Amino acid sequence: MKRILAFALSLTILSFGALLEGQQGSTAGVPAGGSPITLSGAQQVTVPDPAYQMTAYTLAVPRGWHFGGEIARGQGCHGWGLSLNYKMESPDSLTALIQLAPVQWNWDNDVWKDEHHMRQCEAVEISSAAGFAINVLLPEVRPNAKIVSVIAPTAKEQQALDQAGEAQMQQYIGWAQQSGGRPPQHVYVDAVNVRLQYSIHGQPVEEMVTAIINCHGGTHPNIGHPRYPPVTDLSCNSRPERIVRAPQGQLDALLGSPELEQLGQSVQPNHEWWDRYSRDFYAKMARDQQNFNQLLASSWTNFYAQQRANQNFYNQLNENGRQFNQNLQRQGAQFQAQQANAQAARQKEAHRYINFAGDKADYYNPNSGQTVTLSNKYSRTFFSQDGTTAIQTNGWNPNSVPGSAVYSESSQPH
């Protein structure tokens, strides 16, 4: 699966707290590093929604910790609607709690689409939470971390996941009955915990990465092109991914602490904001359905009118075919241009997403005219006159040293 990074509100807490009980693993013999973890004295912070110019979420953050949050509106092939991105981190960066926006992907074996190059999005054959975490999430956000263990759900947790899958199946059945469509043949929820080890500023840390995915699909006739074989498809999306980090030897205590659970439960939406978003969301769904119904009715009306026409219908049909081919050529050129623009936008969003997860920022080098990616942990960044050396400080100016080389200060991170 290529890089695709950039559920409903009620699922955020499930991804936050599920799959932790009894699965932390063992760190016997590993010396604890850093100071004891303290989550007391939490303060309230807010996450605004620039689109509505109002507060979207409030949550608690331990006093003195760093915090960053944003409302993400996923778009394109792998975006998954509206979600909350945030990171809260201790002053020494060794302890952190991170939530990342969900993504979606699809796969099918439709031969007709492949032969006629009709795929707008790449088919991605990943059907498990472990496959998503190991092949997509971790290579993007933790490429240098060591995977210590991949932890499957316990029997009790698997039962809860099966119940969640059954509840989703009932939702699909209800929607199918309302729309006259067919529900998927298979619906399931899968989850995994992945335990990692790596270092920050030379200090060893551990992380638990939790990924939960929802999938549905089945096998059905190729209705649009019945001369082709039946199609098997699968559509999946992840729920907000959670990362918990602690100094080596302290992760299990943090995962089992009531303070961590309280921080998760403190994430609360602004009800006025959520009501407004919900109204806009369902209004758009209603408009889309109305437009579809009108288009379908108009299509059938035109079809019957043509059937009743005289022999000029066939002449007109040939003319329509010629015009269709001309339009198809023009649309093909437009589509290629749109795809190129969309790919550039996705690459830009992926770079910004990776910087956010990896504590990086882009800095402009005024001497070379280039943009370089460095740590975002420092308040000032300087570049040498030859453009080959960068110095980052928290206030100190290297030009203050007598006889030193001349350094130019970078502008704010892009």
Give 241's contacts (C-beta < 8 A, 6+ positions apart): 15, 99, 100, 102, 133, 137, 209, 210, 211
pLDDT one-digit tens code per residue, 311-359:
665 666 667 767 766 776 777 678 777 777 877 777 787 778 788 878 8
298 shares a domain with 191? no
- pLDDT tier at 391 (50, 70, 90 boundaries)? confident
286 shares a domain with 190? no
Q: In the predicted model, what is the mean pLDDT of residues 100-114?
A: 88
- pLDDT tier at 285 (50, 70, 90 boundaries)? low
Q: In the predicted model, what is the mean pLDDT of residues 198-210?
A: 96
The predicted structure's pLDDT at residue 134 = 95
Q: Is residue 213 part of a domain?
A: yes
175 shares a domain with 87? yes
| H or E stretch covering 44 | strand 42-49
Half-sphere exposure of 261 (CA within 13 A, CB side): 9
Q: Which of 261, 257, 247 is nearest to 93 (CA)?
A: 247
Q: Is 361 left (phi over 0), alpha (psi -120 to 50) or beta?
A: beta
pLDDT one-digit tens code per residue, 226-237:
788 888 889 999
Tell me how far apart the alpha carbons of residues 348 and 134 are, in angstroms, rounded to a whole number. Answer: 23
Is residue 298 scored above 90 in pLDDT? no
The predicted structure's pLDDT at residue 24 = 35
Q: Is residue 337 part of a domain?
A: no
Is residue 10 scored above 60 in pLDDT? no
Average pLDDT over the chain reads 80
Q: Is residue 44 part of a domain?
A: yes
The predicted structure's pLDDT at residue 17 = 34
Q: In the predicted model, what is the mean pLDDT of residues 34-48?
A: 76
pLDDT one-digit tens code per residue, 154-174:
999 999 999 999 999 898 888
The predicted structure's pLDDT at residue 356 = 80
179 shares a domain with 88? yes
Q: In the predicted model, what is the mean pLDDT of residues 278-304?
A: 65
213 shares a domain with 284? no
197 shares a domain with 137? yes
105 vs 371, which has greater pLDDT? 105
Tell me how far apart the alpha carbons of residues 88 and 300 are, in angstroms, rounded to a whole number. Answer: 56
How many domains are there within the chain?
3
The predicted structure's pLDDT at residue 32 = 42
Q: In the predicted model, what is the mean pLDDT of residues 395-408?
A: 81
According to DSSP, residue 79 is labeled B
Distance of CA 17 to the CA centre of its chain: 18
The predicted structure's pLDDT at residue 9 = 30
206 vs 356, which has greater pLDDT? 206
The predicted structure's pLDDT at residue 23 = 34
Q: In the predicted model, what is the mean pLDDT of residues 70-88?
A: 86
285 shares a domain with 204? no
Residue type, 2: K
95 shares a domain with 131? yes
Residue showing tokens 């013999």:
29
Tell me how far apart the alpha carbons of residues 399 and 407 are, in angstroms, rounded to a whole number. Answer: 6
- Tell me how far apart the terminal alpha carbons of the chain are, to the nearest angstrom: 29
Q: Is residue 319 part of a domain?
A: no
Tell me how far apart the alpha carbons of residues 33 and 193 are, in angstroms, rounded to a whole number. Answer: 23
Q: Is residue 251 part of a domain?
A: yes
Q: Which domain holds residue 394?
A: 360-409
Radius of gyration of the chain measured on its C-alpha atoms? 26
Give 262's contacts (C-beta < 8 A, 6+ positions apart): 39, 42, 60
Tell me how far apart the alpha carbons of residues 81 and 209 are, in angstroms, rounded to a whole number. Answer: 22
Paired tokens of 374 = 């460095």
The predicted structure's pLDDT at residue 269 = 92
Q: Is residue 338 part of a domain?
A: no
The predicted structure's pLDDT at residue 7 = 29
CB atoms within 10 A of CB 102: 26
The C-alpha angle 7, 58, 275, rounded to 5 degrees, equals 55
349 vs 366, which has greater pLDDT? 366
Lowest mean pLDDT among 13-17, 40-44, 126-130: 13-17
Lowest mean pLDDT among 21-30, 133-142, 199-208: 21-30
The predicted structure's pLDDT at residue 150 = 96
Q: Is residue 352 part of a domain?
A: no
Q: Dihedral sign, CA of 27, 28, 33, 34?
A: positive
301 shares a domain with 263? no
The predicted structure's pLDDT at residue 306 = 55
Tell me how far apart the alpha carbons of residues 383 and 178 are, in angstroms, rounded to a whole number. Answer: 63
According to DSSP, residue 394 is labeled S
- pLDDT tier at 16 (50, 70, 90 boundaries)? very low
The predicted structure's pLDDT at residue 336 = 77
404 vs 15, which has greater pLDDT? 404
189 shares a domain with 83? yes
Distances (CA, A) of 206 to 25, 28, 96, 194: 12, 13, 10, 11
Tell me how far apart the alpha carbons of residues 342 and 335 are, in angstroms, rounded to a whole number. Answer: 10
Is residue 34 scored above 60 in pLDDT? no
**Beta-ladder partners of 192:** 211
What percent of the chain lies above the pLDDT cut of 70? 80
Lowest mean pLDDT among 8-17, 86-95, 317-326, 374-383: 8-17
Q: In the predicted model, what is the mean pLDDT of residues 177-186?
A: 82
Q: Is residue 351 part of a domain?
A: no
Paired tokens of 87 = 């990171």
The predicted structure's pLDDT at residue 385 = 83
Paired tokens of 390 = 């960068």
What percent of the chain lies above the pLDDT cut of 90? 37
201 shares a domain with 186? yes
The predicted structure's pLDDT at residue 301 = 63
Q: What is the pTM for the complete model shown?
A: 0.62
Lowest mean pLDDT among 42-56, 107-121, 289-303: 289-303
Paired tokens of 363 = 């800095």
295 shares a domain with 375? no
Tell me how far apart the alpha carbons of residues 122 and 101 are, in angstroms, rounded to a whole number. Answer: 20
Q: In the predicted model, what is the mean pLDDT of residues 73-79?
A: 80
The predicted structure's pLDDT at residue 31 = 38
